[in-house]
Amino acid sequence: MNFQEGEILIFDKPLGWTSFDVVNKIRAFIKYNAHIPKLKVGHAGTLDPLATGVLIVCTGKFTKRIEEFQVFEKEYTGTFTFGATTPSYDLEKEIDQHYDISHITPSLIHEAVKKFIGNISQIPPVFSAVKIDGKRAYKYARNDEEVIIQPKQINIKEFEITGISFPEVHFRIVCSKGTYIRAIARDLGKEVNSGAYLSKLCRTRIGEFTIENAISIDSFKEAVLLEFSSIIL
């Protein structure tokens, strides 16, 4: 492992961790255990704290490749829960409104999904890292300040419903950079005249980097300790 020259590390981000948590903990662990006083570490594509899955972390000179990885298409699997909404469109915030779902059928869901495939316009969530006048949108939201977020063009290459057990609908999505799956939950709920939020999310792929090839934080730490023999286990 040559962290200063550059490594590409593919992690399965733990539930509850922010992407920056992973970067900060990995940087600190490498610096201490590999005896590297200064080290650049960054990630290529934020995952929300309540999401798990593929997170690309680059070290050293390979941090220059972060933008290259960020543009790769992503694949996600997860669950939408219908009949309610939250301000954040996921479980970060508590349910604020309930909706009727008695009219929703599997065929209605499948027909609605078709409208999301291709190039579409999407308004990012207020609770997101989108910048408005140099300030992150979530900072406005947490202060109960109203903001207008401009829609962005995204591409949904594949949108598959993998299971339905109302109120839960399970899915797989392949999409472009900048797609908010939480916003898809919001918009899909509206499309079927109800409400929905994202209740589970896993990023299973970024480009050719897959969840099958990702490692846990603990496995990485064990590998680093084995690599640098000066560490006493």
Number of helical (H) and strand (E) elements in the chain, helices listed first: 6, 13
Nearest to 130 by CA among 181, 187, 205, 180: 180
CA 187 to chain centre: 18
At residue 227, what are phi and psi to the nearest 5 degrees? Answer: -65, -40
CA 146 to chain centre: 24
CA distance 96 to 5: 49
Q: Which residue out of 48, 96, 133, 144 is catalytically annotated?
A: 48
CA distance 120 to 154: 6
The residue type found at 203 is R
Whether 133 sits among the annotated catalytic residues: the reply is no
| DSSP string for 51-92 | EEEEEEEEEGGGGGGHHHHHTS-EEEEEEEEESEE-TTSBTT
> What are the residue numbers of the active site?
48
